[in-house]
Structure 1
């Protein structure tokens, strides 16, 4: 296959458009920085908390509609063992946005956190919160890799450009404009990227549906034609796995810094909530085209295409089904447009993940732990270096696997099993403390490892009820991710309550209380104070509680 010159030209023009938009937004960011009288780090990481409703919708939706979303949906629908029943990501993400808008957006925006890890540092202290940052950073790295892998696979198939070139060039473009403009560049390029993704995907759909080599997808939805029905089946022994996957993507998405970065950058708490609700609708609409691509591919007799026999699934190339369908079932100019859709989606998610990981490291580790006296100038360079390092690491990981679905699920698994229960406990349970958080971390992470994960070759050590031995490996039939999440949450609350009880009842020495959960001795009622001022060592000579004096002075 020869190099697709028109396609390469179109990709170059697209990259120039995105880079130009990013540089324009970087100039806007620098102007806001010069005018800002507060923390300039907020300008870079949160757009000075001035992202409006319309731009907020674009950047929120574009963050989640990435290469993993588009290629992963098409791959799942096309794969005979999965099908549409296992490709519910648009619904799951819509649910995630709605829950985030209802319960998370306003409380966090009201308190003006910089990252979602701020409440951890405030409540648990610096050292423990730094440990909790690690899985958060790992999830973002998986996301960067997943998105770049999706673009590399698509460009390689359609344009015949070497995979390594397409991945590194795309990563370099995203790193440059994120480096220069921070959230402003990310948000405004997201507007362009999401618009291109939406228009390009929907433009490709009619050509795919009407191509003469495919059977009508309505006929193949439930009937065997060239392979299993693309709607898929849900067998009873896999019901718990289906529920597990649904909850993982529906709730685990709330454990990503990328989501909270959008709500924390909103111009007001109400704008943050409305952004979540509007994005929930749009992301469901954007999930339809890749689902149709997978359905058309499953309804195609590949023997009659230039691809030939055997089918992509039989060759183990179902990961590349979207670019293969565009290449073989649409005119060449339409396949190039499809490339633009994937490229736009990938860039929008890659830059978001870069900025997400950078925000957590620079704010929660460097600024709050390593260098509390760091100047704005120093922080600017820390942010720039971190963007480059995260980009290089994420790009390198993308060469270790050929499945976007695996990387996508792995990142979601980490956030759902470990980050989500910690976030829920620190935000909504007053009793949570450092002892519980440490116990949840110590219990949750080893438990998830022992339960195994066949997709990455992690063997099953701890077998839950229903575990079976298939093809030489143990396969869990229980919802292992949800089990881990619940165990982590329960451990946090139980050990937090236990620590409070033991220290407040003097069952453990106060000197052991490193997380300071022991409460002050409660003050007696005013009438009792007046009656016997000498009986309580906590009272002054006027009979007033010493502990209350600062409070009363503050009120006066």
Structure 2
């Protein structure tokens, strides 16, 4: 048997089969719903009728993606037990959702929200705030899409032992994603998410079982690390604790207001379906990121001495070794192979869909060609999305950073919309000029600190920007007097 079970034609065939499955779902969805009017609500929200089961998996496959499976295990390999915080990340994200998701769902049905900026526009009725929020969301979405494109390349290349080159994997799956997303919109994305989420859950669980059987369990890996890498058993000290805590806060708020996650709130069939899907999501950190963390720890003993670049392909290396042991694990790793790649693509397709919706409705439809009907706006969004993907492919051809660094960068600016979104949903006194001032100052501070590497006290630059944002948006809201018209707008928008 080959040293790498997925090298050669077998790896190529697995990639082709999963690509064909995703494409088939897109074609099926297109044919099934061909007669429906191509409105914003139908294309971007699946008609607002996504039920609990599919809604859960589209949340799941969007939240747990390339950075979770392909990126988080290598991070655990490099950092050791300090990476336990990754489990906490996802618990806090669900808490972040519960702060506003049920209320936002009710408002979305009342006012027919389509894009994430629709709430901000109705709440403040300020062109400046709406445009700045759209720009920040587009930045975060492009960053997130870049992350997934890089993850596709690393995942397939690692799982096939390099038989499928990084660049070839990226081109193949991005093309598949664009086709089925173009054909079926949110319905295609949600249905492929369901297939992808099930494959991911099954594959990761069996990968951990195989890792324990063939590489030794966590106790064995821990004993090995004591001798070889004792620093991986430590806990953060001083600035490390502050940095850890700041990252948890950054992710809790930032991931909860992912623009594509917000659109899933809008797409829910009912408030009950939304709440139940979020309840299921509360358990997923333990059975997904928790298992991935353990896989990374076991990898310390399984493949010692990997460089940072080499460790990025840890999951693929482990899966190939386990698959070569017997037929059962071979087919289980086939499921994992597809689950990893499909989960990466599932997040990328969600991001691309939301990105297209903001461009088509919030920018083109409102400011460039307000007379355009929904069909034309959707076409412009699709075409612009393809152009942006082409640009990101050029960047991703030789990835600029590890997946973890790419993952963190997007939150620094995206989080600056949180005061307008969350406080604005509950606090009627919040003044639109205060919000605009806070967003601008917070964005400038966060951007400067992020791109110059400044991190005072170990606190993430995005949180320093958010602190300044809150000081100005809240402080000025107390100082500035709202007109009666603005009071009426606020009262109507959130009641």
1:132 and 2:146 aligned: no
User: How far off is 1:440 after superposition?
Assistant: 1.1
Deviations 1:387-427 (A, max 9, x none): 323332333332342411111111123222x1223312322
The residue aligned with 2:492 is none
Bigger proportion of residues as helix: 2
Q: Is the 8 A contact 1:208 1:330 kept in 2?
A: no
The residue aligned with 1:530 is none
Change (3 A) 1:330 1:296: farther
Moved more, 418-427 or 59-68: 418-427
- Secondary structure class of the residue paired with 1:88: helix
The residue aligned with 1:49 is 48
User: CA RMSD for the aligned pairs?
Assistant: 2.6
The residue aligned with 1:262 is 264
Q: Is the 8 A contact 1:358 1:390 kept in 2?
A: no
Q: Is the 8 A contact 2:412 2:463 kept in 1?
A: no
Q: Is the 8 A contact 2:104 2:265 kept in 1?
A: no
Where do residues 137-152 of structure 1 align in structure 2 (5 Å cutoff)?
Answer: 137-152=138-153
Q: Is the 8 A contact 1:95 1:280 kept in 2?
A: no
- For these two proteins, the number of residue pairs brought into alignment is 471
Of 308, 318, 321, which residue of structure 1 is paired with 2:311?
Answer: 318
- Secondary structure class of the residue paired with 1:297: helix
Moved more, 487-496 or 163-172: 487-496
1:86 and 2:83 aligned: yes
Structure 1: distance between partners of 2:463 and 2:401 = 27
Q: Is the 8 A contact 2:360 2:378 kept in 1?
A: no
Deviations 1:86-105 (A, max 9, x none): 34334322322233135333
- Secondary structure class of the residue paired with 1:250: helix
Q: Is the 8 A contact 1:11 1:340 kept in 2?
A: yes
User: How far off is 1:131 after superposition?
Assistant: 1.9
Query: Which ranges in structure 2 are unaligned for 5 or more consecutive residues?
Result: 489-495
Deviations 1:142-173 (A, max 9, x none): 11111121121122233221211111111111
The residue aligned with 1:164 is 167
Q: Is the 8 A contact 1:431 1:493 kept in 2?
A: no
- Secondary structure class of the residue paired with 1:364: helix
Change (3 A) 1:444 1:5: same
Q: Is the 8 A contact 2:450 2:462 kept in 1?
A: no
1:518 and 2:489 aligned: no
User: How far off is 1:452 after superposition?
Assistant: 4.0
Change (3 A) 1:87 1:177: farther
TM-score, normalisation: structure 2: 0.88
Q: Is the 8 A contact 1:61 1:283 kept in 2?
A: no
Structure 2: distance between partners of 1:356 and 1:373 = 22
Where do residues 138-217 of structure 1 align in structure 2 (5 Å cutoff)?
Answer: 138-159=139-160, 160-211=163-214, 214-217=215-218
Of 472, 479, 482, which residue of structure 1 is paired with 2:463?
Answer: 482
Structure 1: distance between partners of 2:147 and 2:315 = 15
Structure 2: distance between partners of 1:484 and 1:47 = 35
Higher relative contact order (CA 8 A, sep 6+): 2
Q: Is the 8 A contact 2:158 2:315 kept in 1?
A: no
The residue aligned with 2:116 is 116
The residue aligned with 1:414 is 413
User: How far off is 1:7 after superposition?
Assistant: 1.2
Deviations 1:29-76 (A, max 9, x none): 333337xxxxx2100011111001111001111111111111221022
1:100 and 2:97 aligned: yes
Change (3 A) 1:363 1:493: same
Q: Is the 8 A contact 2:221 2:298 kept in 1?
A: no
- Secondary structure class of the residue paired with 2:283: helix
Change (3 A) 1:294 1:443: same
The residue aligned with 1:277 is 279
1:29 and 2:30 aligned: no
Structure 1: distance between partners of 2:250 and 2:263 = 20
The residue aligned with 1:391 is 389
User: How far off is 1:28 after superposition?
Assistant: 3.1
TM-score, normalisation: structure 1: 0.79
User: How far off is 1:288 after superposition?
Assistant: 2.9
Query: Which ranges in structure 1 are unaligned for 5 or more consecutive residues?
Result: 35-39, 303-310, 467-476, 501-516, 523-546, 548-556
User: How far off is 1:233 after superposition?
Assistant: 1.9
Structure 2: distance between partners of 1:51 and 1:358 = 20
The residue aligned with 2:324 is 331
Structure 2: distance between partners of 1:15 and 1:114 = 29
Structure 2: distance between partners of 1:329 and 1:271 = 38
Computing the radius of gyration over CA atoms, which structure comes out larger, 1 or 2?
Answer: 1
Structure 2: distance between partners of 1:232 and 1:288 = 18
